[in-house]
Structure 1
Amino acid sequence: MNNVKLDLVVGLFVLAGFFSFVYLSVQLGDFAPLSKRQQYQLQAEFGNISGLRRGAVVEIAGVGVGRVGAIELSERQRALVTLYIDRAVELSEDSIASVKTQGIIGEKYISISPGGSDLVLADGDWLMETESALDLEELVSKYIFGGV
């Protein structure tokens, strides 16, 4: 009888560990099938997105409002970035999307500066105003070799 209780406790402990692992994997991973319904999609073209990754945060005033979806090369040989923005956030058509870095050597993310237009972007629209990533290597080489 004592052996059965021990087996039951061990089995429940293993099940709890397994469900904890699954929960953490879903929360920390890039798996969010239901959240895409609560977001709308925007497109933006950048000249340089050096270091930006799929799943990076999209922020407005330091607050996360979405994620970077796909990153592709456009027909015009520019970086085409798909953004998923929370439906509660309305962006005007003259909003500006910029590639920024968290800290000096941190991860890249998209920062959106809201505009003042009355026209609001809808699902599938384009952010026309973009600012590319600052390339530190290029700046340092210009400084070293006298290009500044």
Structure 2
Amino acid sequence: MKRNVLELWVGVFVALGVAALLFLSFKVASGTEQTGGSATYTVTASFNDIGGLKVKAPVKSAGVVVGRVGSIVLNPEDYRAKVTMHLQQPYQFSRDASAQILTSGILGEQYIGLMQGAEEATLANGDNIDLTSDALVLEQLIGKFMTSFAEKNAGE
């Protein structure tokens, strides 16, 4: 009898553990992170190479999340990636702010880093950020290193 009760409790804990893992995986997959209920405004920026940037990636300034990437599309006119960002209303950036694609750690997630400019006029809904820096793609850096290393050794 004691063995049946023990097996029942083990089964209950296993079921609760599986349910908790499913809940967390759905929560992470849906990306439902609270933004404090603040209103947002939308700005865009164009990049030659976005690397592995994804929709819902964070937009940070000084390490603080100030928004999220809303969409990424290829502009058919200039073949540059057009990134739409939804920034939280309390964070107002100047019209000459710059955007760059950065990576958390060596192989971490990519995010957009915004740097405040010097102008007093601020970005409004629908504005474009003109000063951008592309992502550093690890494979491209390794390729450049290998070719320069090969050229150097060929010259000796």
Change (3 A) 1:94 1:57: same
Unaligned runs of 5+ in 1: 1-13
Identity %: 36
Q: What stretches of structure 1 move > 2 A for 4+ residues in a row? A: 23-28, 34-37
User: Where does residue 111 of structure 2 map in the other structure?
Assistant: 109
Q: Which residue of 1 aligns with 2:87?
A: 85
Give the drift of 1:84.
Answer: 0.4
Q: Is the 8 A contact 1:36 1:84 kept in 2?
A: no
Question: Match of 2:69, as an amino acid?
Answer: V
- Per-residue deviation, 1:110: 0.2
Cα deviation digits, residues 68-93 of structure 1 (max 9, x gap): 01000012100000000000000100
Give deviations 1:24-71, integer Å, cap 9, x for gaps. 845762357x98971110010001001000000000000000000100
2-structure distance, mates of 1:104, 1:136: 9
Residues 47 and 82 in structure 2, CA contact (< 8 A), matched pair in contact too: yes
Question: Shift of the alpha carbon at 1:141?
Answer: 1.2
- Structure number with bigger Rg: 2
Number of the residue aligned with 1:56: 57
User: How large is the RMSD of aligned CA atoms in angstroms?
Assistant: 2.8
Q: Residues 48 and 24 of structure 1: is their aligned pair in 2 closer, same or farther, counting only changes over 3 Å?
A: closer
Q: How many residues align?
A: 131
Q: Does 1:132 align with 2:146?
A: no
Q: Secondary structure at the match of 1:145?
A: helix
1:24 & 1:39 partners in 2: Cα distance?
Answer: 27
List runs of 5+ in structure 2 lacking aligned partners. Answer: 1-15
> Following the alignment from structure 1 to structure 2, what is the Cα–Cα distance between the partners of residues 133 and 73?
16
Superposition TM-score, scaled by structure 1 size: 0.77
Give how far 1:144 is off. Answer: 1.2
